[in-house]
Homo-oligomer: A and B are copies of this chain.
């Protein structure tokens, strides 16, 4: 089945052409937009993207940015949280009237507090968060395949146009995501504090707590799996952790309570208690695995249905 391209007759601007912005540009190209522009401070990245045909135009300064924003029907913010806020403040006057704007920022409260109050009435900013990534960094590591089968969180507000939300959902599915879930800014920050940020804190702590050399001689798959995300983009995650401080601290504390329970059982050689806890854990995690497989299957069946 050919999926209908949803960007025909539209101009797109990506702000921040890093790992995610680059991958989004590659995926959006298949939706046949009239034109893709990118704004990034790194002119070498823009040149590389132009050479590879990922974008049609790149701008690395405020004037250039203003020029291409004025033509963009669809704008994707792919910046760290504070940089995104600052860019919105600087360029609020530059968006094309009627533009649909979205973002991939890993925390949302900061946007609710600092962007929504100053947002122009004639643009529609729909907040979102693709739950996909890679241990690589920057445009050089960008690969649109990282989206396939992943979740995408949308954080719609009452002021968003339902038609724009529906259109954005089509864009997201066409890029390969298989599940879109909606939540509030608070719900987003809390859940992401758990499923994403806490996991990164744990992976870092696991690597940080040992000085031993030759540790890799003793690793099985588990240790490598748990620490893959410790190949971390340090400045970005430092900013994300601090931007979502309260929610993340509360998630760390919940995790630490479970660690204490497990530690206590081990200390008391409470094999029955450990077995009961692990039976229940196994059941919960297996359910998640099945949920995920069913979701992927549902999407595949939908495609098949559309095909016939």
Residues in chain A within 8 A of chain B (CB atoms): 131-133, 150-151, 153, 179, 181, 183, 191-192, 194-196, 198-210, 212, 214-232, 234-235, 237-239, 241-242, 245, 248-249, 252, 254-259, 261-263, 266-267, 269-272, 274-282, 284-286, 288-289, 291-292
Contacts of A276 in B (CB 8 A): 234
Q: Are A217 and B278 interface neighbours, CB within 8 A?
A: no
Interface centre among A191, A234, A271, A280 (most CB of B within 10 A): A234
- Complex contact A204–B262 (CB within 8 A): yes
- Asked whether, in the complex, the Cβ of A203 is within 8 Å of the Cβ of B226, the reply is yes
List the B side residues contacting A205 at CB < 8 Å: 255, 258-259, 261-262
Q: Contacts A204-B281, A234-B278 given; indicate if A209 touches B288 (C-beta within 8 A).
A: no
* Chain A contact residues: helix, strand, loop or mixed: helix
> Given A208-B262, A263-B252, A281-B232: A219 and B195 within 8 A (CB)?
yes
Given known pairs A225-B225, A225-B226, A232-B281, the reply for A218 and B131 (CB within 8 Å) is yes
With A and B bound together, what is the CA distance between A200 and B220 in angstroms?
12
User: Cα distance A128–B263 when bound, in Å?
Assistant: 27
Contact A206 B199 (CB under 8 A): yes
